[in-house]
Structures are given as structure tokens and as C-alpha cells.
Amino acid sequence: MKNIKFKNLSKWLLKFGLSSIALFFVFKKVELNRIVEIALSSDPFYLALAFLAFNSSKIISAFRLNQFYKAIKVNLTEKYNLTLYYLSMFYNLFLPGSIGGDAYKVYLLKQEGKGSLKMLSLATVLDRVSGLALLVFFSFFLVLVNQELQQLNYLFPFAVIGLILTLPSYYLFTRLFFNSFSSKFWRTTHFSFWVQLGQLLCAYFILIAIGVESHYLDYLVLFMVSSVVAVFPFSIGGIGARELVFLYAHQYIAIDESQAISFTLLFFSTLASSSFLGLIFIAFPYKERNPISDPNLLSNGKPLD
């Protein structure tokens, strides 16, 4: 057990180190005072809209995960599932040194007799893959509708092929390696579409909040690409990774460096503040009771949410 904790802590320290190095490099290239000035002068109304859009996407994401659970006969009420989802977000971002949020959620459900460790873990992995597939799909689409990027001859055909193949490849991947969940493919993919749309709306509202007046599509393309990079577990919550993507892309796309870095930091702040909502469920825990053993949950033979 001590070895497992040490291993998890080591991974978190490595991620923290990589994020710190990336940010140090970014702040050497971009004036920190300008970044702070832009962030502090941002419009709180649009930041609030960004927060709502982000959390709307997370709520839909929780619904998507519950569909994967249903495919393996793990029946959770949406309320309990949402509670676990926000707890997982909090643990993933703030307490990865002890136990990751996804691992905690799987362990808890296993202890409650909701399903096997293997199938619960597979549901969690496929939920992430579903989100990644639509993230890649949106990235290719935004590249295709961006007139400046269309001028890069090598990029346009690559984006066309990618757009065409992304969803069929994801479907084939599901059928080959996660066939137990294939019955939920279209429903969960539909949820993933709205999840990524919510993320784009969040990004758009942040751009308005910091005073970006043009080239919205350029920022959104880079946001989606940086989100794909942030999926890989090399940083904490994607911080550092997103900033590097925007920094290096500045030489190819007409974006303001300071505004771009302020944007990524405000997005991380939205993620962090949303994850803090998990503290509510720690302070006021909600535990789903078993309707078979608790007659108070039954109404006409059916469990109540």
C-alpha cells in the first residue's frame, strides 16, 4: 500500500514539475505583467457565462458516463452519479498524490457491489475515449472552416481525411475492444457532441471576457488542439501544455500572445473553480441506498431518485 501511495505521489510530483517548467518557459517568452493585467480586467459577466457553459458540459459528461454504466448493468441515479463525477474532478485535480479521482470512483462503486473492477474501469476508460474522439472531430472541423489554415496545403487534406475517419474509427475501436458497451455508442456519442460544444462555448465566452475582438476561430482551433494535448497525463489539469501550444502556434496564426496565455490560464481557473464544487459533496456526502433493502426508496415497486 505504501508503495502504491509513493508511486502515485511520484507521478503527481513529475506532472507538477513538468507543468512548472512549461509555465516558466512560457513566462520567459511572454510578459507576465501583461498577462495578469488582461486577466484582472476581464469581464466578470462573460466569465460567469463561461463557468456555466463549462459546468453544463460536465453535467452532460456525467450523463454520458452513466450510460456506459447502464451498459454493464450498473444502475446509478443521476444524482448519485453526478455527485461521484464532481468528487472525481476534485480528486483528479487537487489530490492526485494519494488516489486519482477515477480510481476512487471505481473503487467506491466496487465496494458498494455495483460492478466488477474490470468493467467499471473499462467504462471509465471508454468515457474518456468518447470525449477524445469528439474533441478530435471538432478540431478537424474547425481547421477546415478556418480560412487562414486552409492556405497550408498539407493541412487541409489531412483535416478532411481526419474528419471523415474519426467517428468510424472510434466506432470500430468500440466494437473491437469494448463490445459490451457498443449498444450505447450513438447515445454516448451524441452526449459527447454536446460536451465539446459546451467546452467551445466556455472558451468563446472567455475570449469575449478578455477583449478579443477578432480571429475567434483561430483561438478556438488552438483551444481544441491544446485540449487534445492536455488529455495526455503529462501535466496537472492541462496547465502548461495548453500554454505551450498557444505559444508555439503564435508564429503561424494571428493571435495575441498575451491574450492567448491569459485565455488558457482563465480556462484553467474555470476548471479549478468547478472542481472545487466537489468539496460540497465531501462536506455533505450523498450515499445512494439500495432500494431492495430500503423500503423508503420504493414507490409502487420502483426506486426513487
Task: Tell me the per-residue pLDDT of 156-209, one tens digit each, with 9 for 90 and over.
Answer: 888 999 999 999 999 999 999 999 999 999 999 999 999 999 999 999 999 999
Query: pLDDT band at 305, cuts 50/70/90?
Result: very low
Question: Residue 183, Cα to own-chain centre: how many angstroms?
Answer: 23
pLDDT tops 50 at residue 303: no
**Residue 249 or 60, more confident:** 60
DSSP-derived 3-state class of residue 235: coil
Give per-residue pLDDT as tens, 204-242. Answer: 999 999 999 888 888 998 899 888 888 876 777 778 788
**Residue 57 pLDDT:** 97
Distance (Å, whole) CA 61 – CA 135? 13
Residue 115 neighbours by CB under 8 Å, 6+ apart: 69, 72, 73, 74, 109
Residue 89 neighbours by CB under 8 Å, 6+ apart: 58, 101, 274, 275, 277, 278
**Residue 250 pLDDT:** 72
Residue 74 neighbours by CB under 8 Å, 6+ apart: 109, 114, 115, 119, 120, 123
Average pLDDT on 112-133 reads 92
Distance (Å, whole) CA 101 – CA 298? 31
Query: pLDDT band at 14, cuts 50/70/90?
Result: confident
What burial class does residue 251 get, using C-beta atoms within 10 Å of its C-beta: 0-12 exposed, 13-18 middle, 19+ buried? exposed
Q: Where are the alpha helices (DSSP H) in the chain?
A: 2-29, 32-40, 44-71, 78-94, 101-111, 117-145, 147-150, 155-177, 185-209, 216-231, 241-249, 257-275, 278-283
**Residue 192 pLDDT:** 96
**Residue 299 pLDDT:** 37
**Residue 218 or 254, more confident:** 218
Rounded to 5 degrees, φ, ψ at 27 are: -70, -15
Share of the chain above pLDDT 90, in %: 47
Average pLDDT on 297-301 reads 37
Rg (CA), the chain: 21
Q: How many C-alpha atoms does 204 have within 13 Å on its Cβ side?
A: 10
Q: Are 62 and 56 in contact (CB under 8 A)?
A: no
pLDDT tops 60 at residue 70: yes
Flag the least confident range among 26-35, 49-58, 132-141, 268-277. Answer: 26-35
Nearest to 217 by CA among 203, 230, 197, 232: 203
Share of the chain above pLDDT 70, in %: 85
Distance (Å, whole) CA 117 – CA 227? 28
Nearest to 260 by CA among 219, 201, 202, 200: 219
pLDDT tops 60 at residue 291: no
Average pLDDT on 32-61 reads 95
Q: Average pLDDT over the chain, rounded to whole?
A: 84
What's the farthest any 2 CA atoms get from each other in the chain? 66
Query: pLDDT band at 298, cuts 50/70/90?
Result: very low
DSSP-derived 3-state class of residue 109: helix
pTM, full prediction: 0.85
Distance (Å, whole) CA 81 – CA 168? 29
Distance (Å, whole) CA 229 – CA 238? 8
Query: pLDDT band at 297, cuts 50/70/90?
Result: very low
